[in-house]
Amino acid sequence: MKVLKLSAQGLPQSWITLEQAVIHYAADDVRWEAGAQIAVFRGGHNAITGLQSIITVNSIIGTRGVPNISPFSLRPGLTNGKLFARDRNICAYCGGLFSELELTREHIIPFAQQGVDTWMNVVTACRSCNHRKSSRTPEQAKMPLLFTPYVPSLWEDFILRNRRILADQMEFLTAHLPKNSRLSAQALLND
Ligand SMILES: [Zn+2]
């Protein structure tokens, strides 16, 4: 279970562990909370009052400090995990749904023809389609793409980075997605 950490202004910063969240609370860095309370940590007893210190952690927190991610400069890093999540584990050539182990990062314009390793030139493909297409373009291989690639937005990137997002965190993130996003709440419900 991860906590969605945002800047005080509400821009996503990172997924952090409950323990990391507690440190933000203890340091009085938390400016606001959203979502539900997901954990309670009990500390020591105050020597004078005898009261036990308690920190409750919410699923979404806004923290003090200078944001380290700008939504305008960010180009999300490309990983196989995020790529497969972007394409919902569906092969772009045969349309089959596969487990991650059976999937590959497929370069639409192959390296052999000066293709590059960027979000816009990669799709998810099953091993057999990747093998069949080989070092050809979709046109040359007569294997048309069933869907087009895209560069995830900052908000989409945060969805792609975490496979176990809590319902209230998902609601918060999807509220910022464009209507045509493949990661929209409706699309995810149909999974
Ligand atoms: Zn396939």
More confident residue, 101 or 188: 101
Residue 150 lies in a domain: no
Residue 175 lies in a domain: no
Domain harbouring 94, CATH code: 1.10.30.50
Residues 46 and 85 in one domain: no
Helix (H) or strand (E) holding 138, with range, is helix 138-141
Residues 52 and 13 in one domain: yes
187 CA → ligand 1 middle, Å: 21
Of 141, 157, 182, at which residue does a domain stop? Answer: 141
Residue 19 lies in a domain: yes
* Residues by chain with Cβ below 5 Å of ion ligand 1: 91, 93-94, 126, 129
100 CA → ligand 1 middle, Å: 13
Task: Name 7's Cβ contacts closer than 8 Å, sequence gap at least 6.
Answer: 13, 62, 63, 65, 67
Residues 85 and 59 in one domain: no
Residue 174 lies in a domain: no
Q: What is the pTM of this model?
A: 0.77
- Domain with 12, as residue range(s), is 3-63
CB 36 within 8 A of CB 60: no
Residue 160 lies in a domain: no
pLDDT band at 180 (very low <50, low <70, confident <90, very high): confident
End-to-end alpha carbon distance in the chain: 20
Residue 187 lies in a domain: no
105 CA → ligand 1 middle, Å: 12
Q: For 146, list phi and psi in degrees, rounded to 5.
A: -85, -20
Residues 36 and 9 in one domain: yes
Residues 124 and 97 in one domain: yes
Task: State the Cα–Cα distance between residues 143 and 135, nearest whole angstrom.
Answer: 12
Residues 58 and 86 in one domain: no
pLDDT band at 72 (very low <50, low <70, confident <90, very high): low
How many distinct structural domains can be found in the chain?
Answer: 2
Of 63, 94, 111, at which residue does a domain stop? Answer: 63
95 CA → ligand 1 middle, Å: 6
CB 36 within 8 A of CB 56: no
Report, as an integer, the average pLDDT of 5-30. Answer: 92
> Left if phi > 0, otherwise alpha if psi is -120 to 50, otherwise beta: which for 21?
alpha
186 CA → ligand 1 middle, Å: 25
Residues 21 and 51 in one domain: yes
Residues 58 and 9 in one domain: yes
pLDDT tens digits for range 102-149: 999 999 999 999 999 999 999 999 999 999 999 999 999 999 999 999
133 CA → ligand 1 middle, Å: 10
